[in-house]
Structure 1
Amino acid sequence: MLIDGLQCGHFTRETFEELRRGGVTCVTITAGFWEGTMESLDALARWRELIRENQDLVVLATTAADIERAAASNRTALLIGYQNSNLFEGRIRFVELFAELGVRVVQLTYNNQNELAGSCYETEDSGLARFGREVIDEMNRTGMLVDLSHVGNRSTLEAVKHSKKPVAITHANADSLFAHKRNKTDDVLKALADNGGVIGCATYRNITGDYYCSTPKAWAEMVARTVEIAGIDHVAIGTDRSHNFAKPDYDWMRQGRWTRGIDYGAGSAARPGKVPPADWFKEVGNLNLIPGGLAEVGFSPEEVAKITAGNWLRVYREVFGG
């Protein structure tokens, strides 16, 4: 089995076929970034239609058992996720409603501070707000995984400590291995391990670096060093792969409706637009190169199984049930 903790973009039947060629068991998709409730409902409805139209290749998953059944039927399970909490629009009761509609992963903040917590790009991270604690409690209760990938380090640490269930950093890396505001400090990763959570190691070049993007073995070296920090039970895959994105999509991701100016997100003025994928990850199906890379740097078959699927399945089972 092979589970990817986060991808985004415009998925098509061709994308689903590529996932099947890569032997991908489950992917958390991104249904939104800055959208409010109504737009998020529209996105959710479109995703449900897309899944229904391609049910020979993919299936909507809401439990760990759904993922296992998808694997048994030779299909890829899709978990519905959002990279911001704007879909709730400040209404605590909406957490349960979206959970009942099949949403299983929500990031507390995206690239800006909001009423829940601080973002990784703010000059000062304000920490977890009162409303953020309420939302985490409700997500714990209703079976929704708390994602902390774009959340500031202070807010992440406070969220990890507050949550009664495992949380996730679905798509980031260790800051000590590649320094970037989007990546997480060692103290955060150790706290994540204490919580029982998981970090999905990313392949996105801006937060991974050219060396770790060069070969499956080089990327696996980064994974191995992350395991040294967080432990073998708390490291997995979260590529942050995007599909069929063009400049308007990147502008929306980075600038939303909150600025008239230019924002580079995880990029920079030197690297303003779309960056090339990892050298070894030209096609989605190349995900099947990961087990070999992990074995090449010394992971045992049992450890490879944990990193490629087992750690995510454990967290999903504890959070979603099934």
Structure 2
Amino acid sequence: MSTPTVERRRVVTVKRVLLVLLALLLVAVVGFFAAAPGIVEKGMNQVESGPLPEVTDETRALHESLAIADMHSDTLLWKRDLLDRSDRGHVDLPRLKDGNVALQVFSSVSKSPKGQNFDSNSDETDNITLLTFVQLQPPRTWSSLLERSLYHAEKLDDAAKDSDGTLRIVRTSSDLTTLLEDRAAGKDVTGSLLSLEGLQPLEGDASNLKALYDAGYRMAGFTHFFDNEVSGSMHGEEKAGLTDLGREVFDEMERLGMIVDVAHASHAAVAEMLERATKPVVSSHGGVQATCEVNRNLTDDEVRGVAATGGVVGIAYFEGAVCDTSAEAVVDAIVHVRDLVGIEHVGLGSDFDGSVVTRWDTSDIAVVTQELVDRGFSDEDIAAVMGGNVLRVMTEVLPQG
């Protein structure tokens, strides 16, 4: 056999080996990007076991009669189809229907610092950038916080369009009224509303607020876990109050009909926002210092301030908000707000899918109704807590349409 022939065969063999290795590498890469988002989320958004109230038939009937509203979930952050029932996380449309939720607020998380904690975080690192790569999001979201929030709005819009009318996006008070009327008439519809977990997607430019408003955003917290261009965060390094840009944006939000959310803002910023407010504000998700003394919860004075605007304090379901994951701990916080400022100023703000561990997902939200029943709340007060108070604020603040 000639040397050239042997050499050609060697070349062919090497090429085949390289092609096989390339194919294996491609399979591995595809497998990684297919599996990694689910693996990451399963480690972040968990439902743990633990005692729960047994929901009676009578309470179930009451629960099914309620207009339930939850002021905060981070579901849009994750690579899941909102219309499909998932085996991970806390919220999707099928589970919202199981829980009889009338309206779910979906928050856009655009940046999260590494080593995130309640006490002090810088703005120099970001966990979400890697997540945008792993989840194969559009390249425009890799480096722009504004584009990340616009992408989240597109995800919700696409889900609503593909839902055959069963998922609606609420942008105006008229949208909300129609949603509630249709549900009362027996129609299979669930509402959604877009919110921002911090105003860092403005990227320091007040004009970007209109772009976010046009994309459907109708609620916004000023900060997340770090100080930004509009405000200090309760968990930031400086923890300062509102900036000049923050004051400008606050006033524009009120003019547009966007709900101001004081969650995660520094105590100095919360005080200034409550003083500046001419419309009801909310604390969308968290707890109260009186029942869980951690640096993310509202003081009694802040609860009084939210109530003075006509607003609502949303109680979350995870340990960092209520120092436990039990229904009892959630209702302890609700009872405190009721006793302090009145039943009309407390509601639900689960923080589902927000990298938290809870004892139930949204399909089992009736356990909260049962705990309220067990504590002796009247049907009227239960209806207020489970959604009536939040829906009242939305009706008052959202644009008429």
The answer to whether TM tops 0.5 is yes
Specify the alignment match of 2:118 in structure 1.
none
1:59-98 matches, within 5 Å, as: 59-71=168-180, 72=182, 73-98=187-212
1:297-308 matches, within 5 Å, as: 297-308=375-386
Q: Deviations over 1:290-313 (max 9, x none)?
A: 222212212111111111111111
Specify the alignment match of 2:298 in structure 1.
184
Give ranges in structure 1 of 5+ residues lacking alignment: 244-249, 251-274
Specify the alignment match of 2:29 in structure 1.
none
Among 332, 347, 358, which residue is 1:277 paired with?
358
Please say if residues 170 and 176 of structure 2, whose CA atoms lie closer than 8 Å, have aligned partners that are also in contact: yes
The residue type equivalent to 1:168 in the other structure is V
Q: Offset at 1:159?
A: 0.8
1:237-256 matches, within 5 Å, as: 237-242=348-353
Coordinate RMSD, CA, aligned:
1.8
Among 107, 110, 123, which residue is 2:224 paired with?
110
Q: Offset at 1:175?
A: 1.1
Among 331, 338, 344, which residue is 1:233 paired with?
344
Among 57, 64, 70, which residue is 1:4 paired with?
70
Specify the alignment match of 2:312 in structure 1.
198
Q: Deviations over 1:85-107 (max 9, x none)?
A: 12222222222332232111111
Among 296, 301, 318, which residue is 2:396 paired with?
318
Among 146, 151, 155, which residue is 2:269 paired with?
155
Q: Deviations over 1:17-75 (max 9, x none)?
A: 01001100001002233252223222222221122112443111112332343342322
Q: Distance in 1 between matches of 2:150 and 2:165?
A: 24
- SS for the counterpart of 2:285 is strand
Q: Deviations over 1:160-181 (max 9, x none)?
A: 1112111111001101210111
Q: Offset at 1:116?
A: 1.2
Please say if residues 20 and 76 of structure 1, whose CA atoms lie closer than 8 Å, have aligned partners that are also in contact: yes
TM-score relative to the length of structure 2: 0.68
Q: Distance in 2 between matches of 1:204 and 1:143?
A: 30
- SS for the counterpart of 1:158 is helix
Change (3 A) 1:205 1:317: same
Q: Distance in 1 between matches of 2:264 and 2:249?
A: 17
- SS for the counterpart of 2:284 is strand
Q: Percent identity?
A: 26
Number of aligned residue pairs: 286
Q: Distance in 2 between matches of 1:219 and 1:41?
A: 33
Q: Deviations over 1:226-260 (max 9, x none)?
A: 212232111000010117xxxxxx5xxxxxxxxxx
Please say if residues 99 and 143 of structure 1, whose CA atoms lie closer than 8 Å, have aligned partners that are also in contact: no
Specify the alignment match of 2:120 in structure 1.
none
Q: Distance in 2 between matches of 1:124 and 1:89?
A: 19
Specify the alignment match of 2:97 in structure 1.
20
Q: Distance in 1 between matches of 2:164 and 2:296?
A: 35
TM-score relative to the length of structure 1: 0.83
Give ranges in structure 2 of 5+ residues lacking alignment: 1-66, 86-91, 112-143
Please say if residues 167 and 196 of structure 1, whose CA atoms lie closer than 8 Å, have aligned partners that are also in contact: yes
Among 152, 158, 166, which residue is 1:49 paired with?
158
Please say if residues 56 and 75 of structure 1, whose CA atoms lie closer than 8 Å, have aligned partners that are also in contact: yes
Among 101, 106, 119, which residue is 1:29 paired with?
106
Which has the higher Rg, Structure 1 or Structure 2? 2
Q: Distance in 1 between matches of 2:336 and 2:384?
A: 15
Please say if residues 20 and 57 of structure 1, whose CA atoms lie closer than 8 Å, have aligned partners that are also in contact: no
Please say if residues 6 and 28 of structure 1, whose CA atoms lie closer than 8 Å, have aligned partners that are also in contact: yes
Among 278, 281, 284, which residue is 1:164 paired with?
278
Q: Distance in 1 between matches of 2:148 and 2:368?
A: 35
Q: Distance in 2 between matches of 1:114 and 1:24?
A: 33
Q: Distance in 1 between matches of 2:97 and 2:178?
A: 15
Shifted more, 220-229 versus 19-28: the winner is 220-229
Q: Distance in 2 between matches of 1:118 and 1:36?
A: 18
Q: Deviations over 1:133-174 (max 9, x none)?
A: 111100000011111111112211211111211111100110
Please say if residues 217 and 297 of structure 1, whose CA atoms lie closer than 8 Å, have aligned partners that are also in contact: no
The residue type equivalent to 1:239 in the other structure is S
Q: Distance in 2 between matches of 1:149 and 1:310?
A: 20
- SS for the counterpart of 1:6 is strand
Q: Distance in 2 between matches of 1:228 and 1:122?
A: 31
Q: Offset at 1:190?
A: 0.5
